[in-house]
């Protein structure tokens, strides 16, 4: 029994020493203060009652941080007041990835929505479905927010329904 105990200690001691001093991967979530964002129409994307906007998120800090999954946030009116917003997965990617953003680097996600086809309970075709949205307040994974101007400003029908893709790759 003593031999078994001694053998167990000899085998496990190097493993314990290795894992105790092992570096933990640096996946520090970006905070709102570390990010800037733009939310612009993708030219030529309008059709069949839908349009696509590109959300570009840039690391403006001096340290690397990460984003992952679907963007989270709220549509805002011209005065900055929150509007009804529902963010859904646009499909396609089934696995979110961690996107490491070095200082000055950015990543993107796309949002497809209808600016002019009313959803259930939004009135009649030919009338504006929802109030115009001027800003998207992005909730950062590390806490806090940053605002992106929506260009051009637009209504988002179906009660603020945005079908977002996951954050993609890193760009300069």
Range of the domain at 33: 24-171
Q: How confident is the model at residue 172, as a pLDDT?
A: 62
Mean pLDDT of 18-42: 80
**Residue 96 in domain:** yes
Mean pLDDT of 56-69: 96
Residue 4: is its pLDDT beyond 50?
Answer: no
Secondary structure of residue 6 in the 3-state scheme: helix
**Residue 51 in domain:** yes
> How many domains in the chain?
1
**Residue 15 in domain:** no
In this structure, the number of other CB atoms found within 10 A of the CB of residue 112 comes to 18
- CATH code for position 31: 2.60.40.10
Residue range 89-143, pLDDT digits in tens: 987 656 788 999 999 999 999 999 999 999 998 977 778 999 999 999 999 999 9
3 compared with 32, residue with greater pLDDT: 32
**Residue 2 in domain:** no
Instruction: Provide DSSP, 80-102.
Output: S-B---EEEE-SS--S--EEEE-
**Residue 5 in domain:** no
pTM: 0.82
Non-local CB neighbours of 137 within 8 Å, separated by 6+ positions: 73, 74, 75, 76, 82, 145, 146, 147, 148
**Residue 104 in domain:** yes
**Residue 90 in domain:** yes
């Amino acid at each position: 029994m003593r031999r078994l105990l001694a053998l167990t200690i000899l085998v496990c001691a190097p493993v314990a020493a290795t894992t105790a001093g092992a570096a933990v991967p640096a996946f520090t979530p970006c905070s709102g203060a570390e990010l800037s964002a733009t939310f612009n129409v993708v030219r030529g994307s309008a059709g069949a009652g839908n349009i696509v906007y590109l959300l570009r998120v840039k690391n403006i800090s001096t340290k690397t941080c990460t984003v992952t999954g679907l963007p989270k946030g709220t549509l805002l009116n011209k005065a900055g007041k929150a509007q009804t917003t529902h963010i859904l997965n646009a499909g396609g990617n089934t696995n979110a990835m961690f996107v490491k953003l070095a200082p000055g680097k950015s990543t993107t996600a796309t949002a497809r929505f209808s600016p002019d086809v009313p959803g259930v309970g939004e009135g009649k075709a030919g009338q504006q479905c929802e109030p115009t949205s001027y800003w998207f307040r992005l909730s950062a994974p590390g806490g806090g927010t940053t605002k992106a101007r929506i260009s051009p400003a637009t209504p988002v029908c179906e009660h603020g329904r945005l079908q977002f893709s996951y954050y993609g790759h890193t760009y300069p």
